[in-house]
Amino acid sequence: MSLLRAEGLTKSFGRTHALDGAGITIREGEVVAVMGPSGSGKSTLLHCLAGILPPDSGTVHYRDHSGSDRELTSMNDGERSELRRTEFGFVFQFGQLVPELTCLENVALPLRLSGMKRKDAERAAKDWMARLEVDAVADQRPGETSGGQGQRVAVARALVTGPKVIFADEPTGALDSLNGERVMHLLTTAARETGAAVVLVTHEPRVAAYSDREVVVRDGRSRDVEFAR
Ligand SMILES: Nc1ncnc2c1ncn2[C@@H]1O[C@H](COP(=O)(O)OP(=O)(O)OP(=O)(O)O)[C@@H](O)[C@H]1O
Ligand SMILES: [Mg+2]
């Protein structure tokens, strides 16, 4: 059964047709790699799918924790941001951690924003940092970590709330291949353990190899490449 399903998405920026009828289906717990040339619309697709960017037309259906079908484009901004905060996790190319906070405070932040007590939030954050093998940098600020450590902190932050879907846009794009593999291994292992689905945008076949399935985007249109690994 599908967890997230987009159909007929179009999105233009001025005269650029970034999406031209793109669709994608994500099933519960699967890791899907979104591939395609630069400028083909991968990030735009991910942003529409995650309710960050409203498409010009088309629909995005999400089945929430209670099993209710929700249509993202018909929700208001408040409902969409609530959905993102409670059911989705995000990892971008450059961690986008808060520079003034320690790594531990960064990972605890989504829980604090949901109203959890500091002690409980930091305990959960520590646990995730250990799983991502970054507990050693807990008290450092993001600027004092390596690129690979920073991305693993960002992955811990994405996972700490127990999301149903992780959206990752080129999470290894700024890392060397060894660190990239480590991030991918830990991200996909954690996602499989928790049952989170992963929508992974990447250029790199080596990164896509961690997925169950690939979707190729070309000129704003997407095509499922169904094959079992
Ligand atoms: N905010 C924006 N304003 C104007 N044009 C945009 C904007 N975002 C994307 N575009 C354009 O839409 C098209 C698709 O962009 P998108 O970022 O989705 O591509 P991509 O497949 O993610 O590329 P890359 O692999 O380089 O990240 C491109 O032509 C891009 O220039
Ligand atoms: Mg992109």
Residue with the bigger pLDDT between 92 and 139: it is 139
- pLDDT at residue 194, as a whole number: 94
Query: What local confidence, expressed as pLDDT, does residue 70 receive?
Result: 94
- Where does CATH 3.40.50.300 sit in the chain? 1-87+163-229
Pocket perturbation via mutation, ligand 1, pick of 11, 34, 44, 48 by most ligand atoms within 8 A of CB: 44
pLDDT(225) > 70 = no
Domain 1-87+163-229 has CATH 3.40.50.300: yes
Structural contact between residues 190 and 132, judged by C-beta atoms closer than 8 angstroms: yes
118-131 vs 147-159: helix axis angle to the nearest 10? Answer: 130
User: Does 41 contact ligand 1 (Cβ within 6 A)?
Assistant: yes
Rounded distance from Cα 40 to ligand 1 centre (Å): 7
Ligand 1, atom 28, lies closest to the CA of 39
What is the mean pLDDT of the segment spanning 213-219?
A: 94
Residues with Cβ within 8 Å of 123's Cβ and at least 6 positions away in sequence, in order, are none
Instruction: Give yes or no for residue 15 CB within 6 A of ligand 1.
Output: no
Write phi, then psi, for 162 (nearest 5 degrees). Answer: 70, 50
Which tokens hold the place of 172? 């290894």
Give pLDDT, residue 27. 95
Closest ligand 1 atom to Cα of 19: 14
Distance CA 140, CA 219 (A): 42
Q: What percent of the chain has pLDDT over 90?
A: 83
Mean pLDDT over each residue of the chain, to the nearest integer: 93
CA nearest to 41, candidates 25, 30, 55, 27:
55
Residue 68, class by beta-carbon neighbours within 10 Å (0-12 exposed, 13-18 middle, 19+ buried)? Answer: exposed
Please work out whether the CB of residue 220 comes within 6 Å of at least one atom of ligand 1.
no
Three-state DSSP state, 77: helix
| pLDDT tens readout for residues 192-211 | 999 999 999 998 898 889 99
